[in-house]
Amino acid sequence: MALETTESIWHNGRLIAWEKAQIHVMSHVVHYGSSVFEGLRCYAQPQGAGVFRLEEHMQRLLDSAKIYRMPVPYTLEELCSAVVDVVEANGVAPCYIRPIAFRGYGEIGVNPLRAPVEVYIANFPWGKYIPGTVGADVCISSWNRLAPNTMPSLAKSGANYMNSQLIRMEAEINGYSEGIALDVNGYLSEGSGENVFVVRGGVLYTPPLANSALSGITRSSVITIAKELGIPVVEQTLPRELLYICDEAFFSGTAAEVTHLRSVDRVLVGDGTIGPVTAAIHEEFFGIVNGTRPDRYEWLTPVKVPVAEAVGV
């Protein structure tokens, strides 16, 4: 998924040219992974485009920064406005949006408190994250998610994604689309960049956040949709083997959206096709974000991008 450049990137309150968005090699983030970030999607709508759950994503960015004692010099409202500004300035939708705050150039050493905080927001075209069209073939990773009280799993930090990289690389090398990590006690946690849902007996299960899972925005959207559809939702600790005997399973996330799992460790999930619960949630989710169903939860923030660009191929 090679990057497609756009014209501008938002940096500390102003738009700069894409090629000017550079940092010094001695910036703190390069040496110590001191960054927090977000991933959002802007979807094509019949009459324009809309950013999905903008405020919730930017609040999570601020929450991640707070956990790491990183003072972001912008309010929630300013960050939300900045996202809209950069999408409209580049005129690219649908697109992926990447806000990031990090410790920049100042002092060397583990202590980050004297390094300045830089904030950038970029957007660019980005398609399907999980490869394939008939469901994902995934594996249980040999790498565990972070143990409690080591690094904060509720923070979406760059350093945490070194763990994710190990999970994803192992999966790809062994011929899988993605890997699922267990927590330190051997219970289901999440994928390298996705939350996990399992269906058994008509009930939708997902691991609680205490199992070292990120508080996913799409995860919460899936739970909201499921409850409205009358599907029972249970957040509880789940054993690995449930993935082998469940009726359905799927990933959720900004990048993965709602992607059903065809197999886990070469064991078919159900009959390998998308199941009725997953299909109902998938249909409702994409209906809302693509504008074919009402945005009854007010999840979409409109952006002024020409309709021809927003819905064109």
Q: Write down the pLDDT at residue 162.
A: 97
Nearest to 69 by CA among 155, 148, 164, 153: 155
Catalytic choice (20, 66, 128, 156): 156
Q: Write down the pLDDT at residue 243.
A: 98
Q: Write down the pLDDT at residue 128.
A: 75
Cβ atoms of 252 and 197 within 8 Å: the answer is yes
- List the chain pLDDT tens, one digit each, 313 residues: 788 999 999 999 999 999 999 999 999 999 999 999 999 999 999 888 999 999 999 999 999 999 999 999 999 999 999 999 999 999 999 999 999 999 999 989 999 999 999 999 999 998 777 766 789 999 999 999 999 999 999 999 999 999 999 999 999 999 999 999 999 999 999 999 999 999 999 999 999 999 999 999 999 999 999 999 999 999 999 999 999 999 999 999 999 999 999 999 999 999 999 999 999 999 999 999 999 999 999 999 999 987 545 444 3
Cβ atoms of 179 and 191 within 8 Å: the answer is yes
Catalytic annotation present for 156 = yes
pLDDT in tens, 103-133: 999 989 999 999 999 999 999 998 777 766 7
Q: Write down the pLDDT at residue 307.
A: 55
45, β-bridge pairs:
48
Q: Write down the pLDDT at residue 132.
A: 66
SS (HEC) of 76-115 = HHHHHHHHHHHHHHHCCCCEEEEEEEEECCCCCCCCCCCC
Residue carrying the six token digits 């989710």: 285
Q: Write down the pLDDT at residue 129.
A: 77
Q: Report the chain's terminal Cα–Cα distance, integer Å.
A: 17
